[in-house]
Amino acid sequence: MADLKITQLTEDTSLVAGDMLPVVTDIATTAVTKKASLTTLAQGVESVFNAPEGFLINGKIVPSVATSDLTVAIKGMDGNDPSATNPVYCRIGNTVRSITAALSVTKADATNWCNAGSAELATKEIDYFVYLGYNATDGVVVGFSRIPYATLYSDFSITTTNEKYAGISTITNAAAGDNYVNIGRFAATLSAGAGYTWTVPTFTSANLIQRPIYTTRWLAWAPVFTGFSASPANTSKYTISGRTITLQQLESGDGTSNATTFTITAPMANALGQLALLASHGAIDGGATKAAAPYTRIANASTTISVYIDGTASTGWTNSGGKRIVSMAGSYPIA
């Protein structure tokens, strides 16, 4: 074969991980020309350029449901499982880790995972955050959770029905200090009742995010009211950003009172360490508008919002007739 310049060679427009490139090493002493695979080159580039945590190289999140069970998998960009010739890379903590084998987590139906099948959230689409974690024995693991802020295994709950639970592929050797990194987000729905079946929507760039993200969309919840024989008509939305949840609720029609108390359940618990106050206005009691503004608060470690007829924190509601507040809004920490 005659000597050719690189610019004279035939171009290959469909390189794969095992293809070889020429490289020059030991430049500072005696330069040597060697070969390196694209796999090795990608790993070297990832290390040299100190890629940000959580960004996948040659990888993507693939959620799916089969027979009502949810699976979250890491795939190569070609849609196939990672392998030695199709590796996926991600920086977890201060180290670039490689995934060279199939990696997924499956959570079957019939469990109230992450409390997503509660009265407030069942049948409502929820945004779940995807994580990669690492320990020396289990290697790289994948998981998902309702919370976006975790950096350590200890940030998650190990109770399957807890709102901070993470479904993780392997926890056999998990330790509190294991590093975890947020790599993206996807939407899924868990049904109500003992079936607790999973469904996922048709995925778009809005409900499947292939990069680290720490906020949900505005999502719906169905608050449970007490103090009523018929609950107020309402539209209730929430969003989670980092360690904070923000609520917005409009009550567009009176409920029918049957008690002097008034409570509303929230989608996640207050972690402020004390009472958290929420803004509200427009108290309707016994079918009549009250002059004083209502007073709303949520106790520490609670998901129950107490609604008072005025700032004296007295119950004071009439136990019959129309009852509601016009609106409520506010934020509180979830961790």
pLDDT digits (tens, 9 = 90+) for 171-192: 999 999 999 999 999 999 999 9
Residue 233 to residue 220: CA distance in whole angstroms: 14
Range of the domain at 292: 220-333
Per residue in 29-80, pLDDT (tens digit) is 787 878 877 666 665 655 555 678 999 999 999 999 999 999 999 999 999 9
Nearest-angstrom CA–CA distance, 324 and 1: 86
pLDDT given at position 258: 98
pLDDT at residue 10, rounded to an integer = 77
User: Same domain, yes or no, for 80 and 176?
Assistant: yes
Mean pLDDT confidence for 292-311: 95
Average pLDDT over residues 127-138: 98
Together in a domain, 65 and 181: yes
The reply to whether 147 falls in a domain is yes
The CATH number of residue 313's host domain is 2.60.90
Q: Note the pLDDT of residue 228.
A: 98
- Residue 262 binned pLDDT confidence (cut-offs 50, 70, 90): very high
The answer to whether residues 85 and 203 belong to one domain is: yes
Instruction: Say whether pLDDT at 279 is over 70.
Output: yes
Q: Say whether both 246 and 178 belong to one domain.
A: no
Per-residue pLDDT, 15: 66
299 and 191 in a common domain: no
**Do 294 and 169 belong together in one domain?**
no
Question: Which two tokens mark 35?
Answer: 């070969």
Mean pLDDT (whole number) for 84-112: 96
The confidence score (pLDDT) of residue 315 equals 67
Query: How high is the pLDDT of residue 124?
Result: 98
Considering the domain architecture, whether residues 83 and 167 belong to the same structural domain is answered as: yes
Residue 231 lies in a domain: yes
pLDDT category, 201, cuts 50, 70, 90? Answer: very high
Distance from the Cα of residue 24 to its chain's centroid: 44
User: Which of 150, 183, 214 delimits the end of a domain?
Assistant: 214
Domain edge (last residue) among 182, 198, 214: 214
pLDDT level of residue 93 (50, 70, 90 thresholds): very high
| 127 within some domain | yes
Residue 56 or residue 24, greater confidence: 56
Residues 190 and 77 in one domain: yes
Q: Are residues 121 and 181 in the same domain?
A: yes
Residues 167 and 280 in one domain: no
Is residue 205 one of the residues assigned to a domain? yes
Q: Are residues 160 and 240 in the same domain?
A: no
Q: Which residue has the higher pLDDT, 206 or 13?
A: 206
Report if residue 268 sits inside a domain: yes
pLDDT greater than 80 at residue 13: no
- Tell me if 81 is assigned to some domain: yes
Q: What is the mean pLDDT of residues 142-161?
A: 98
Among 214, 238, 262, the domain boundary falls at: 214
**Residue 51 belongs to a domain:** no
Q: For position 51, what pLDDT does the model report? A: 77
Q: Is 272 a domain residue?
A: yes
Same domain, 68 and 175: yes
Tally of domains within the chain: 2
